Amino acid sequence: MFYISTRGGGARVTSAQTITRGISEDGGLFVPPEIPRISADDIKMLSTLDYKSRAKFILPLYLTDFSGDEINKCVDSAYSCESFGSEKTAPVVRLEEGVSILELWKGPTCAFKDMALQLLPHLLAVSAKKAADGKKIVILVATSGDTGKAALEGFRDVPDTKIAVFFPNDGVSPMQRLQMTTQEGGNVFVQAIKGNFDDAQNGVKSIFADKEANERLAQRGMMFSSANSINWGRLVPQIVYYISAYCDLVADKSIKNGDKINIVVPTGNFGNILAAYYAREMGLPVNKLICASNKNNVLTDFISTGRYDRRRDFFVTSSPSMDILISSNLERLLFLLCGYDGAQVRSWMKSLSDTGAYDVGEHLKEKIGTIFDAGCCDDEGTKALIKKVFESRGYLCDTHTAVAVDVYYKYRERTGDKTPAVIASTASPFKFCSSVLDALDARAKEKLDEFQMLDALEKLTGVPCPPQLKELKNKTVRFGGVCELGDMKQTVIKSVVG
């Protein structure tokens, strides 16, 4: 299988090459030239297996240049019991009759990004052997919080890789800062910078393109790579858990094999919901994919009008990982839906960067509407939903998951569609403890620090806090200090390249 670019140019490359390169040379994103299929018999068989075995069946359909043995080793290293707490890896829990929650946050950083970032480093190390002369990989990440920590945990002590993460000194929560600055591992480096997230991002981009830095790396048999969410190596692990959730529902007889489900996803960059679309196109019986946004509802508008327009106010919300106005992975969906017409996608993306908007036209809008539905929920709605679901069902949602549950209830009311639903839950409620506590009891968090809030939420709800968040309190800060923007490159050369 040779991957192609969504913009119609660039070389056709193996999956190992897509993973080491990240993005195509024409600026497009890599996609497989066709979508592999799974049958009802495959699903029946997978229903009897554990998560790792399901991954070992699905991943080779896309990573056709990996040997079975290579994939098995990657999967075993990524989804160990030590990292995910149990064999379940991505458990499905019942919220009410016909509504299930797919918990994607059992990994080391308590957010769904672990599902991909625990596997990607292993895929990347194998890919570099195949596609980059065995060079060592140096990952550079600019982060506004969650991705940096998940990448650090994923890459920590993975042989032949190093990772450097930059975060804005004033732009992350106290908990997120501690998660990163106490990071353990012999191949990790973390640095706060004077500037905001965009400054960090621009700094990293200029190091990627810097001649001196690249030469220094090459002399030491290393190369830069990226772990951001447009890398195919982050998308493909996410397809697995939607198929796995369906298999779990079949296995516990909540549905019959062949019954359709709806899938609801709290969406930012459109990566997680795109993986659900791939699962549907592979043959998973899915009726509607429901795209849930917070007050930054550019996708809700796009799905209902066919017009994508980023020229609008940006809101900081209580579900910060969905505060996004450019959903990069939407480009892949457009390419698939317009019949792999790279020239067409190129012109929409040009319009987006020139004018801030594009319009896909009536025909494509209707096609999108047969597959997707969409809705949004603001901070007030998020708070109310967390309280309502906890009080009526005893289930504690984080703020991102709450957006999805709220959008689902509104969808079901509007359409009367009672198809069994799976709602993706993307973070532990303790990861966004302050907002969750506030939703349950407006006065509960008064005068408490971050760690006292974890205890207070535990006490108030009886839900146990993931130990890795509590343990942060006793960890040593390994990466202190703040660096000037202009010093980022020298910092990388000195501290990472050596």
Ligand X SMILES: *Cc1c(COP(=O)(O)O)cnc(C)c1O
Judged by the rule CB under 6 A, the positions of this chain that interact with ligand X are 111-113, 146, 229, 266-272, 321-322, 400, 426-427
| CA-based torsion, 49, 422, 419, 39: positive or negative | negative
Q: What is the closest distance, in whole angstroms, from the C-beta atom of residue 268 to ligand X in the complex?
A: 3
Q: Which of 393, 404, 401, 388 lies closest to 429 in space, CA to CA?
A: 401
Q: What is the closest distance, in whole angstroms, from the C-beta atom of residue 318 to ligand X in the complex?
A: 11
| Contact criterion met (CB below 8 Å) for 114 and 85 | no
Q: What is the closest distance, in whole angstroms, from the C-beta atom of residue 150 to ligand X in the complex?
A: 8
| Closest CB to ligand X among residues 70, 373 | 373
What are the CA-CA distances from residue 340 to residues 6, 30, 35, 206, 478 (Å)? 7, 12, 12, 31, 47
Label each residue of 318-335 as H, E or C.
Answer: CCHHHCCCCCCCHHHHHH
Q: Is 136 a catalytic residue?
A: no
| Contact criterion met (CB below 8 Å) for 469 and 450 | no
Q: Which residues does residue 111 pair with via DSSP β-bridges, in sequence order?
A: 427
| Closest CB to ligand X among residues 146, 438 | 146
Look at the block and give the residue holding tokens 């969410």: 229
| Closest CB to ligand X among residues 296, 321 | 321
- Distance between CA 254 and CA 85 in Å, rounded? 24
Kind of pairing between the strands at 357-359 and 307-309: antiparallel
- Distance between CA 338 and CA 368 in Å, rounded? 10
Tokens representing 87 are 């064999």
Q: What is the closest distance, in whole angstroms, from the C-beta atom of residue 176 to ligand X in the complex?
A: 11
| Closest CB to ligand X among residues 322, 437 | 322
Outline where 87-173 has alpha helix (H). Answer: 113-117, 120-131, 146-155
Half-sphere exposure of 344 (CA within 13 A, CB side): 15
* Cβ count within 10 A of residue 206: 13
| Closest CB to ligand X among residues 181, 238 | 238
Strand ranges (DSSP E) for 294-438? 307-309, 357-359, 372-376, 421-425
Q: Which of 317, 325, 158, 163 lies closest to 228 in space, CA to CA?
A: 163
Q: What is the closest distance, in whole angstroms, from the C-beta atom of residue 316 to ligand X in the complex?
A: 15
Coil vs helix vs strand at 194: coil
Q: What is the closest distance, in whole angstroms, from the C-beta atom of residue 446 to ligand X in the complex?
A: 26
| Closest CB to ligand X among residues 191, 228 | 228
What are the CA-CA distances from residue 206 to residues 192, 218, 229 (Å)? 17, 17, 19
Q: What is the closest distance, in whole angstroms, from the C-beta atom of residue 110 to ligand X in the complex?
A: 9
| CA-based torsion, 281, 283, 284, 285: positive or negative | positive
| Closest CB to ligand X among residues 226, 269 | 269
Q: What is the closest distance, in whole angstroms, from the C-beta atom of residue 399 to ligand X in the complex?
A: 8
Q: What is the closest distance, in whole angstroms, from the C-beta atom of residue 107 to ligand X in the complex?
A: 12
| Closest CB to ligand X among residues 130, 431 | 431
| Closest CB to ligand X among residues 112, 302 | 112
DSSP conformation letters of 83-98? HHSSTTSS-EEEEETT
Q: Find the catalytic residue in 52, 113, 295, 383.
A: 113
DSSP summary character for residue 299:
H
Residues labelled as active-site residues = 113
